[in-house]
Amino acid sequence: MHISLAAEKIIEIGPVAITNTMIVSWVVILLLSTISILVFRNLKEVPGKLQNFWEFIIEAILGMIENVTADRKKAEKMLPLVATFFIFIITANWIGLIPGFETIGRWEVLEGEKVLIPYLRPPAADLNTTLALAIISVVAIQIFGFGYLGFKYIKKFINFKGPIQFFVGILEIISEFAKIISFSFRLFGNIFAGAVLLAVISFLIPAIAALPFYGLELFVGFVQALVFAMLTTVFIYVATQSHEEH
Amino acid sequence: MESITSSESTRLIATALAIGIGGMAPALAIGWLAAKAMEAIGRNPEASGKVQSAMILGMAFAEAIAIYALVIALIIKFIA
């Protein structure tokens, strides 16, 4: 059995290599864009089934953001980013459970042994994808901070009021980088470990023993999407809090 | 059966220890969180929604540490 931490390259177009996770990411983007366009092409007062379903998801996410911020206007400003994170990540995770992922591929000889290079792999099982999402999230947090607090946001990091405040500022800068690492590795670790778990269980006892683990992966995929979106919400809320000194 | 070199066996032991020891503290943390959350819900069933959301958030942070340990274990095993 061959487990590869890095995503496997399928085609190389000149200097750019296309990995299997990239292909699946594009499929997810196409799928979500198609559904969105279908919903928005004719919006009705009394919604049809697809529009109803989409409205339910958006309202649920808006409610979750409002729970954190208690401010409807702020919640509506944060909604596009947070909802995109949630819907993209949950679709990317769940699409990786379709049979055929990590099993359909071509055989290659790597270091003397014959390994299977799968054509399909869950996008979040690639550190590049999760790192990209994490960087987008943390940069967006800073943009929201500057947007709501103006230039005073920099006082969170560079604060000369005293030695302790200066140190706290440095710690805050380090903490932002820790957020990038934490976001990316949490999502990567969960989804990659899930894919490896399914592969190992299926290797030991084909077909039947993997069923409860598919249930676990459905749950984990949902929870990781929820956690990514919620943590982004919470961090944006904290960043846009004005520090009213007593 | 081919014999494995001593460096290969050290790598296997290191992998197992990394995830084994690294998973202990997060497991305790998640258990504590759940216990306190259950206490809170028991005392105040009306606030169960808020307590549940806060609990899930806290568990995500605690689980992330276990995930870091798992990633290190995987790196040891598969990338030198």
pLDDT value of position A243: 65
Is B6 inside any structural domain?
no
Number of domains composing chain A: 1
What is the span of the domain harbouring residue B65?
11-78
Q: How far apart are CA A151 and CA A166, in angstroms?
A: 17
Each residue's pLDDT tens digit in chain B (80 positions)? 567 888 889 999 999 999 999 999 999 999 999 999 999 999 999 988 888 888 888 888 888 888 889 888 988 988 87
Contact A157, A163 (CB under 8 A): no
pLDDT value of position A245: 47
Is B40 inside any structural domain?
yes
Contact A64, A203 (CB under 8 A): no
Residues of B in contact with A189 (CB under 8 A): 64, 67-68, 70-71
Question: A8-30 b/e with 16+ CB inside 10 Å = b?
Answer: bebeeeeeeeebbbbbbbeebee
Q: Under an 8 A CB cutoff, do A186 and B79 touch?
A: no
Which sign does the torsion angle of CA A63, A69, A71, A75 carry?
Answer: negative
List, for residues A137-186, the tens digit of each pLDDT value. 999 999 999 998 888 888 888 888 888 888 989 988 988 998 899 999 99
Is B1 inside any structural domain?
no
- A58-61: long-range contacts (C-beta < 8 A, 24 or more apart)? A58/A83, A61/A86, A61/A229
Is A141 inside any structural domain?
yes
Tell me which residues of chain B have a C-beta less than 8 Å from any C-beta of chain A: 50, 53, 56-57, 60, 63-64, 67-68, 70-71, 74-75, 78-79
Contact A229, A82 (CB under 8 A): yes
**What backbone phi and psi angles, to 5 degrees, belong to A108?**
-135, 160
Is A194 inside any structural domain?
yes
Which tokens sit at B20?
A: 């084994």
Q: Under an 8 A CB cutoff, do A227 and B75 touch?
A: no
The residue behind tokens 């790192």 is A131
Model pTM? Answer: 0.88
Number of domains composing chain B: 1
Is B5 inside any structural domain?
no
List, for residues A23-45, the tens digit of each pLDDT value. 999 999 999 999 999 888 888 88
List, for residues A107-130, the tens digit of each pLDDT value. 888 777 888 899 999 999 999 999
Is A244 inside any structural domain?
no
Q: Residue A14 — very low, low, confident or very high, per pLDDT cuts 50/70/90?
A: confident
A106 has pLDDT over 80? yes
Alpha carbon separation from B54 to A71, B35, B36, B41, B57 (Å, rounded): 18, 13, 11, 12, 5
Task: Find the Cα–Cα–Cα–Cα dihedral B5, B10, B15, B17, rounded to 10°.
Answer: 150
Contact A235, A176 (CB under 8 A): no
CATH code of the domain containing B71: 1.20.20.10
The ipTM of this complex is 0.74
Q: Residue A246 — very low, low, confident or very high, per pLDDT cuts 50/70/90?
A: very low
Q: Which of A195, A97, A179, A96 is nearest to A139 (CA)?
A: A179
3-state DSSP call for residue A17?
strand
Mean residue pLDDT of chain A comes to: 89
pLDDT value of position A10: 87
A103 has pLDDT over 80? yes
The alpha-carbon gap from B57 to the nearest alpha carbon of chain A, in Å, equals: 7
Q: How many CB atoms lie within 10 A of CB A40?
A: 10
pLDDT value of position A131: 96
Is B3 inside any structural domain?
no
What is the span of the domain harbouring residue A148?
9-239
Compare CB distances from A189 to B50, B53, B67 and report the shortest one's residue: B67
Is A4 inside any structural domain?
no
Per DSSP, A104 falls in state S
Contact A157, A171 (CB under 8 A): no
Is A246 inside any structural domain?
no
Compare CB distances from B78 to A3, A193, A226 and report the shortest one's residue: A3
Q: Under an 8 A CB cutoff, do A3 and B60 touch?
A: no
Alpha carbon separation from B41 to B46, B57, B66 (Å, rounded): 8, 16, 26
